[in-house]
Amino acid sequence: MSCDKNVVQVLKKFQLYNLTLLNNYLVSNVSLLQARGIPIKSIKKWVHHRPWCLVHRTEEFKYSIIQAEKKFFFFGGGGFSGSPMFLYAVGCLYCHREEAIGSKCQVFESFGWDCSDVVSLFRQHLNCLTVSEEKIKAMVGFFL
């Protein structure tokens, strides 16, 4: 984390009972990201801002990584090349159920978008996954 100040800030984000999670899963999950070619600088930034995203069971975290690669970054043959957006995609996929993501995709498709358009949107603006279906309908309706 570069300096003690950053380590203290991350530890403050965890309550005492969560320190075991930090110890048990953080190192293995960071190793998974490094093995996928994510630069350590991006990982450090993510640990500093969203440390809770890295302290889940390694098997579940690995599944989120694989899903992010399949759904957003290898669609049509394009790779993520260590993109910081990849980390955000992993966090979104871990925090949101696949059914919820699928239903949000269907909302966009109901406005005439095809699957590649939706994936392209999510690649550039992953925050679309975090808003409600009602807000998606309202915003797309407004712009149309």
What are the structural domain ranges in the chain? 4-143
Instruction: Name residue 46's amino acid.
Output: W
Q: From CA 80, how far away is CA 66, in angstroms rounded?
A: 12
**3-class DSSP state of 108:** helix
pTM score over 0.75: no
Instruction: Name residue 32's amino acid.
Output: L
Q: Residues 95-105: pLDDT tens digits?
A: 777 788 888 88
53-62, 76-85, 88-97, 100-109: least confidently modelled range? 76-85
Whether the predicted pLDDT of 77 surpasses 50 = no
Q: Residues 88-144: pLDDT tens digits?
A: 778 777 777 778 888 888 898 899 988 888 878 877 787 787 888 899 999 888 988
**Structure confidence at residue 135 (pLDDT):** 92
**What is the token pair recorded at 5?**
């100040």
